[in-house]
Structure 1
């Protein structure tokens, strides 16, 4: 915001950034086992936890507690409770707490908010198309804003299809008692996307500005067959096969973008 609002007490606005990353692969039958291993490594709970810790730093929040879980045969979930400002009097449970939350952890959660991630691997039952949808939600209160994590996450995943929603809920009050429903300027999520990413994605907005609800879909312009075609070993590929792979991936991307 151009001029900082003088608030009465704590900023009670909730700002939530939700991102769906779609990574799509063409996997030949002989490579399915290697692909499963690849997905479990790339999207492991430990790696996702490291990403979310960096997100917390990007938005200048402190991690209060961590919960993470890998699933069989694929998939993972991670949740970080976060707080704004000094949290030196709180202990970080690096090994997770198994669902047993101490009272001061609960207070930390209510004081601010959370960062979560869930992965959803899936495949076509009669084809070679496999995908991993990674859902990330960054929810904050106070002066910090989730939107500042967007470019970092786009750079980490570099997915073929990305859908982003950003919403601001609740209200806070200024020193005169007037309600404030928005504490920073925004007309579109695209306002916060770096130009280098805009050049690589087709972007389409569906915004309800008066409702403080913003939604953007992104689809990669140019595909790299090396990233789309999952092969266990390097080999010479025929041009016709590469065309078929890219056409299949593009159709899958288009279906996701046009989903109703």
Structure 2
């Protein structure tokens, strides 16, 4: 399927502030041998495959009130997965010949997302095992980045519950500035 650009997207509630919620989730397992270590990695790889991660990110989009424009997902060999989701604050009419009037949240392109609208959600997983000492770890890096009136903070509790982690490193930052009608600068909108 050829990916065609969406017609100009009207920016609703656009305010030039980028709000990004970033997670690094870690799960740590001490396996009693090579077989248990391999079983752990297999379990993690199945539990957090691209299809399940896509389901989690779709729920995040729903929680924050975003519409899904495009999804790129990939499982890796020997293990790991990535999902990138392009989101918007509103429904977008597309000119994809295969989906002439489909709501944008129903479109899933097989193409890699080459550019982003004003918002995106990504997750990358990194399961691994030490070859000798039985320590196996799983890391998931998640970014929910929005502009406009939607906020990634609405998904905070859901993301903590969606990944069964031993350690979570959470970072929230607001970048840029916006102006009101009088020209006054604002560096945060909440």
Q: Under TM normalisation by the shorter chain, which class is it? A: 0.7 to 0.9
Partner Cα distance (1:178, 1:164) in 2: 31
The 5-angstrom pairing of residues 1-260 of structure 1 reads 10-29=14-33, 30-89=35-94, 91=104, 92-94=106-108, 96-99=109-112, 109-110=116-117, 112-184=118-190
Partner Cα distance (2:136, 2:144) in 1: 26
Deviations 1:208-252 (A, max 9, x none): xxxxxxxxxxxxxxxxxxxxxxxxxxxxxxxxxxxxxxxxxxxxx
Which has the larger helix fraction?
1
**Superposition TM-score, scaled by structure 2 size:** 0.82
Deviations 1:87-114 (A, max 9, x none): 35564432x332376xxxx5xx33x210
CA RMSD of aligned residues (A): 1.8
Cα shift at 1:54: 0.2
- SS in structure 2 at match of 1:166: strand
Partner Cα distance (1:148, 1:99) in 2: 27
Q: How many residues align?
A: 168
- Higher-RCO chain (CA-CA 8 Å, sequence separation at least 6): 2
Partner Cα distance (2:112, 2:150) in 1: 27
Partner Cα distance (2:76, 2:48) in 1: 11
Cα shift at 1:117: 0.2
* Structure 1 consecutive aligned stretches of length 4 or more whose deviation exceeds 4 Å: none
Partner Cα distance (1:132, 1:10) in 2: 36
Structure 2, unaligned runs of 5 or more: 1-12, 95-102
Partner Cα distance (1:40, 1:10) in 2: 38
- SS in structure 1 at match of 2:158: helix
Structure 1, unaligned runs of 5 or more: 1-8, 185-260
Deviations 1:29-81 (A, max 9, x none): 23234223212210100000000000001110000000000001110000000
